[in-house]
Amino acid sequence: MPLAKACRIKGLDFDTVQQEIKAVKNEPLERNRNYAAWSLSFLADYIVNIHHAYLNEEMGPIAAYAHKIVDVHGKNHPELIKIAAIFDKIISDMAGHLCEEEEILFPVIKRLETDKKNGSKPMDDEVIKASLEKLYREHEEIGDAVHEIRGLANDYAIPEDACNTFTLTYRKLKAFEEDLHKHVHLENNILFVGCSNLSSTIGR
């Protein structure tokens, strides 16, 4: 049934309904997601498919851009040299971090969820705790490095002498920080908390 006809039957104002539909369509999808209601296994897959995939796609190009603007603008903007070096360090730290999550902790979380009915644990409590502590610590270190970049980049304000690559690099670094905040929030506050709760309740 056409919307105009449906509105007439229900006694609703057609223009108002149209505006409301448009507003809902423009709302970011993010607002409707209730990550805490997802199973931990589903959330772990989501993190890998969205946030780890983003890192794997974006880290190399961002580093290449950062080094390119060092070559062109490094003399007038020595802060770029530090930014490129810090970003290189983030990439090397991130490799081990993602590996620990994807190869060790996330599979353990999935096993904890599937095995909880029979009360068996895929890994000792202490080992899970140690892995979580290591990952929490690395989140802090990587977060500090990203904030250091933001400080050096003057909150990503674009200087007057910036070329297109300079502007693009700062935009990408800003997007990197935003994605990292969402990613770390999902792990620290939902996935990892869920993992320790599950691990401590099984076998009691």
Contact positions toward Fe ion, by CB under 5 A? 101, 187
Pick the closer one to Fe ion by CB: 101 or 113. Answer: 101
What is the closest distance, in whole angstroms, from the C-beta atom of residue 97 to Fe ion in the complex?
A: 6
What is the closest distance, in whole angstroms, from the C-beta atom of residue 150 to Fe ion in the complex?
A: 19
| DSSP per residue, 101-146 | IIIIIHHHHHHHHHHTTTT--SS-HHHHHHHHHHHHHHHHHHHHHH
- Closest listed residue to residue 40, CA positions, set 94, 96, 112, 104: 112
Pick the closer one to Fe ion by CB: 82 or 134. Answer: 134
Pick the closer one to Fe ion by CB: 69 or 135. Answer: 135
Residue 155 tokens, joined = 């909150």
Residue bearing tokens 């979380």: 109
Pick the closer one to Fe ion by CB: 41 or 167. Answer: 41
- Closest listed residue to residue 52, CA positions, set 106, 7, 3, 110: 106
CB 102 within 8 A of CB 47: no
What is the closest distance, in whole angstroms, from the C-beta atom of residue 48 to Fe ion in the complex?
A: 8
Pick the closer one to Fe ion by CB: 113 or 187. Answer: 187
What is the closest distance, in whole angstroms, from the C-beta atom of residue 47 to Fe ion in the complex?
A: 5
What is the closest distance, in whole angstroms, from the C-beta atom of residue 30 to Fe ion in the complex?
A: 18
As a whole number of angstroms, the distance between CA 155 and CA 150 comes to 5
As a whole number of angstroms, the distance between CA 17 and CA 164 comes to 42
